Amino acid sequence: MRFRYLGRTGLKVAPIVLGTFNFGWLVEPKDAFAIMDRALEEGVTVFDTADSYGKWTGGRGHSGWSEEIIGQWFTLGGGRRESVVLATKVYEATDEPTEWVNAERGVSAYKIKRHIEGSLRRLGTDHVELYQLHHHEDHAPWEELLGALEDLVTAGKVVYLGSSNFGARHLCWARTAAERRGGLGFVSEQHRYSLACRLPELEVLPTCQELGIGLIAWSPLASGLLGGHALNRAGGERSAEAGGALDQAGRERLTAYHQLCADLGETPANVALAWTLANPAVTGPIIGPRTADQVSQSVRAAEIELDAATLMRLDEIFPGPGGAGPGAYAW
């Protein structure tokens, strides 16, 4: 695969990111090991997790299970840890019983300093390459959050800082605060972005591009809607992205999309991934495979180049907001 730089940094990364959200509660450890082995074989370098991954609300598992599985895989050696750009996150609620109220959703200097230690212990490593705030925190001042995060960089426990689910204004505020402190600030932003969710094109994507922040797209298949099976699911067609049944317009849109993909000779999933990669603001989409073979299928997307006519047709099927703001909504 052709490597890209992560934002404005000198770090080179593969254009496909391995997401480990499913590890533990949906993917057994042995299968997760096979997925990670295959990812390395295919040239995927960034593995993304979070201290909350491994437990689904009302389901099986426990928070941190995903990190534990990755850490167990590292112990197998063979250069596994050295080959991975490791990314994790902090913000969500965890199973930590001793934190009481601070185990709930939110982030503070207290939580950052405490949770990085838990993540490093579970991952079996002394540092992570990318440490991300999983969500923005409206209450805590930037001086508190950036101060705690920069301390981790100084201590060698973190190399780069990133964000996730931030608005354009949050990215700008964070950059301004980081520059005042003489720091690099956030170099990446994880954001929900797909053919079926193009609102980030209004503000977030142009902001990332202008500030040199690498955008990592999560849910690039719109929770499976663009994966190729949405029209064939048992019990009727459903839009996982919308959480309800597809209406007639939705069925027609997917039918047209599937026909276009067939004409291209590519799978709907890979066309959706390739489309995100065609945007210059995007560093790479996150894939969430449940099998090793799905990893191999997904990396094909990095080799697909969509021509102008195809991109125009995709715009017709899945209309965007009309470009960047304010041009898209003002004179």
Question: Is residue 322 included in any domain, yes or no?
Answer: no
**Whole-structure pTM value:** 0.94
Confidence class for position 60, pLDDT limits 50, 70, 90: confident
Which is more confidently placed, 230 or 222?
Answer: 222
Per-residue model confidence (pLDDT) at position 117: 97
Q: What's the pLDDT tens digit per position in 174-208?
A: 999 999 999 999 999 999 999 999 999 999 999 99
Active-site position among 53, 91, 131, 160: 53
Q: What is the mean pLDDT of residues 120-128?
A: 98
Question: Is residue 120 included in any domain, yes or no?
Answer: yes
Q: Residue 186 maps to which CATH number?
A: 3.20.20.100
Which domain, by its residues, includes 254?
4-317
Question: Is residue 325 included in any domain, yes or no?
Answer: no
Share of the chain above pLDDT 70, in %: 94
Question: Is residue 69 included in any domain, yes or no?
Answer: yes
Question: Is residue 326 included in any domain, yes or no?
Answer: no
Per-residue model confidence (pLDDT) at position 104: 81
CA angle 166, 222, 37 (to 5 degrees): 90
Question: Is residue 327 included in any domain, yes or no?
Answer: no
Question: Is residue 253 included in any domain, yes or no?
Answer: yes
Q: Is 329 a catalytic residue?
A: no
Per-residue model confidence (pLDDT) at position 103: 75
Least confident of 40-49, 96-105, 160-169, 259-268: 96-105
Report the number of distinct structural domains present in the chain. 1
Question: Is residue 329 included in any domain, yes or no?
Answer: no
